[in-house]
C-alpha cells in the first residue's frame, strides 16, 4: 500500500504549471459556455420582460464572447506549443491536428459572434424596440407594419446564426474535452 502524499508548500506550488493552466482554462471555457447557453439565457428569458431580457443579453454576450475568444486562443497556443507535429501535418485525420482545428473552430465561431452576428443582432433588436414604441404594437401582434416584418425576419436570421455558432462552439468544446480526458493534453 502506498503512503499518502503529504502536502507541502513546494507540492502546492508545483500545482501551478502549464498542464494545470490548460485544464483550468478548458474547464472555465466549457463551464461558462454550458452555463450561458443552456441555463442563464433560458432562465433570464422566462424571468424577465422581453425588453429587459434583450438589454441583459446585450450586456452579457460581449463579455462571454471575449472570454471565449481569449480562453480558446490561449488553449490553442498551448496545444500547438505542446504538439510540434501539428505544424508538419494539415490533415484532420492526425489526432493532434484535429484538436487544433477543433480549438480554432471555437475561436472562429465565437469571434464571428462577437464581431459580426452579436452586434448586428443587437442593432436589429433595438431597432425593433424603437419601431414597437413608434407603432404602439408589439413585434408579434397582428397587423404590424412591413418595416416590422422585415426587422423580424432579419432578427430571426441573425439570432439563428448566432445561436448555431454558439452551439457548434459548445459541441466542439465537448469533443475536445472527450479527447483530452482520454488522451491527455500532452503538456
Establish if 3 belongs to a structural domain: no
> Which grid coordinates are listed for 157?
436570421
Query: Per residue in 126-155, pLDDT tens?
Result: 999 999 999 999 999 898 999 999 999 999
Quote the pTM value. 0.91
Residue 13 belongs to some domain of the structure: no
Q: What is the rounded average pLDDT for all residues in the chain?
A: 95
Place of cell 489526432: 95
Q: Is residue 5 domain-resident?
A: no
**95 lies in some domain:** yes
Please determine, for residue 1, whether its predicted confidence score (pLDDT) is greater than 80: no
The share of the chain scoring above pLDDT 90, in percent, equals: 87
Q: What is the mean pLDDT of residues 63-68?
A: 98
Answer yes or no: is 173 within a domain.
yes
Domain count across the chain: 1
Domain coverage including residue 136:
18-183
Q: Within the chain, what is the greatest distance between any pair of CA atoms?
A: 78
φ/ψ region of 136 (left if φ > 0, alpha if ψ in -120 to 50, else beta) reads: left
Residue owning grid cell 454558439: 166
Q: What burial letters (b/e) apply to 156-183, b meaning 16+ CB within 10 Å?
A: eebbebbeebbeebbebbeebeebbeee
Amino acid at each position: 500500500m502506498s503512503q499518502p502524499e503529504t502536502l507541502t508548500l513546494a507540492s502546492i506550488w508545483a500545482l501551478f504549471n502549464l498542464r494545470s493552466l490548460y485544464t483550468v482554462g478548458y474547464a472555465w471555457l466549457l463551464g461558462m459556455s454550458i452555463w450561458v447557453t443552456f441555463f442563464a439565457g433560458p432562465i433570464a428569458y422566462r424571468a424577465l420582460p422581453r425588453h429587459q431580457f434583450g438589454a441583459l443579453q446585450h450586456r452579457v454576450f460581449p463579455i462571454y464572447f471575449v472570454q471565449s475568444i481569449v480562453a480558446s486562443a490561449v488553449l490553442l497556443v498551448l496545444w500547438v506549443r505542446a504538439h510540434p507535429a501539428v505544424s508538419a501535418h494539415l490533415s484532420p485525420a492526425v489526432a493532434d491536428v484535429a484538436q487544433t482545428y477543433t480549438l480554432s473552430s471555437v475561436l472562429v465561431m465565437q469571434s464571428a459572434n462577437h464581431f459580426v452576428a452579436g452586434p448586428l443582432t443587437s442593432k436589429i433588436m433595438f431597432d425593433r424596440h424603437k419601431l414597437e414604441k413608434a407603432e404602439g404594437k408589439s413585434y408579434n401582434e397582428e397587423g404590424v407594419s412591413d418595416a416590422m416584418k422585415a426587422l423580424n425576419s432579419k432578427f430571426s436570421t441573425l439570432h439563428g446564426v448566432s445561436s448555431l455558432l454558439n452551439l457548434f462552439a459548445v459541441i466542439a468544446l465537448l469533443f475536445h474535452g472527450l479527447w483530452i480526458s482520454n488522451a491527455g493534453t500532452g503538456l
